Amino acid sequence: MKDQSRRERWDVWMVQAQRFARRENYIDALGRFRLVLAEVDDAIENELDPEELASLKRYRARADRRVAHTRAAFEAWNAAIAARRQKWTDEADQEMKRPLPLGPNEHY
């Protein structure tokens, strides 16, 4: 197996993160993005070539946009879950007033 360049490795991680997000596995997606951002930041700190530095900064900006999009989707997904739970909580006393269903061997 051929060793990957750091850029290829980051691209693989970005694709993995997007696939995690597509399956609503936002925690793993954001974690994978954090790996990419940490490595890109490290590369930016150690880069001396101005052209490569500009390229790394563009890559960082692209990764930031994807992180922002994934985080927004995660927050919307989380808000929908919270709203559904709140609705169940709000309707709890109405449900408690309903009689329990009869079992198979029970009669009025």
The residue segments making up the domain with residue 80 are: 6-94
Contacts of range 71-76, beta carbons closer than 8 Å, 24 or more positions apart? 71/30, 73/21, 73/26, 74/21, 74/26, 74/29, 74/30
For the chain, how many structural domains are there in total? Answer: 1
107 falls within a domain? no
88 falls within a domain? yes
47 falls within a domain? yes
pLDDT, mean of residues 20-30: 96
pLDDT at 2: 64
Tens digits of residue pLDDT in 48-84: 999 999 999 999 999 999 999 999 999 999 999 999 9
* Position with higher pLDDT, 9 vs 97: 9
The CATH number of the domain holding residue 26 is 1.20.58
73 and 21 in contact (C-beta within 8 Å)?
yes
20 falls within a domain? yes
Here the tokens at position 72 are: 């927004």
